[in-house]
Amino acid sequence: MLVKWIRCTVVDRRGFERGQRKWAGLPGEPGFRAQGGGWSQRRESVAHIFSFWESRAFYDSFMARSHDRLAAAQSGTFKDGQVRLFEHRFDVKVGFEPKFTEADVVRVAHCRVHEDRVEHFVHMQEKVWNPAMAGSPGMLRGSFGEAAGNEFLVLSMWNSTAEHGKYRAERVERLALRAQIEADVAAIAGDVVNLEPSWTVVQ
């Protein structure tokens, strides 16, 4: 499965949200699974969109055929658009499905990992981070994805900001030490996204 992450700075919020509704045309596109997103908790003008496709081939076909028509409605409403694609490597919690139901927030973590530490980083994700997140009340589902250049994306969906906040306060620092994250990671960027239910599109 392919995971697409879009991050942009919105300059016309009303126009952007109006254009976001045009993506309701995605169902029926071959290989499309789901799309959702919302606003950054840290910077109110920043929007994040996450979409899921069966494969890179289906996604490339969509980009060549239908994407520009659907995207036209949002032209001029945002700047600094960044798009990254990741191959889903494994679930953060068993049985991942690309759906946004019951989720209130998404935590996104984008990591660039030192080349000689990739194997250790992936192992720690499986053995340290995943069990901790999966066992946390309020954590619903998640995806661990990989891209070329030793880049990784960890998406986790939570039923509330409060539950995610408790996990961060109680466990993250201790887990980071155990996983030796400072030795593995060259750069990390993250955000917490308040999901907008009206942006969710499912196949």
> What does pLDDT average to in each consecutive run of 10 residues of the chain (203 residues)?
98 97 94 97 97 98 95 95 97 90 95 97 94 91 96 96 86 88 94 97 92
Rounded CA gap, 151 and 111, in Å? 6
- Is residue 8 one of the residues assigned to a domain? yes
CATH number at residue 126: 3.30.70.100
Domain that holds residue 126: 2-196
- Is residue 21 one of the residues assigned to a domain? yes
- Is residue 124 one of the residues assigned to a domain? yes
Residues 6 or more apart from 124 whose CB is under 8 A from it?
179, 180, 181, 184
- Is residue 202 one of the residues assigned to a domain? no
Q: pTM (2 decimals)?
A: 0.94
Chain centroid to Cα 149, Å, comes to 18
- Is residue 201 one of the residues assigned to a domain? no
- Is residue 50 one of the residues assigned to a domain? yes
- Is residue 203 one of the residues assigned to a domain? no
State the total domains in the chain.
1
pLDDT at residue 79 in the model: 96
Rounded CA gap, 18 and 23, in Å? 10
Dig out the tokens for 2 from the structure.
Answer: 């392919």
- Is residue 30 one of the residues assigned to a domain? yes
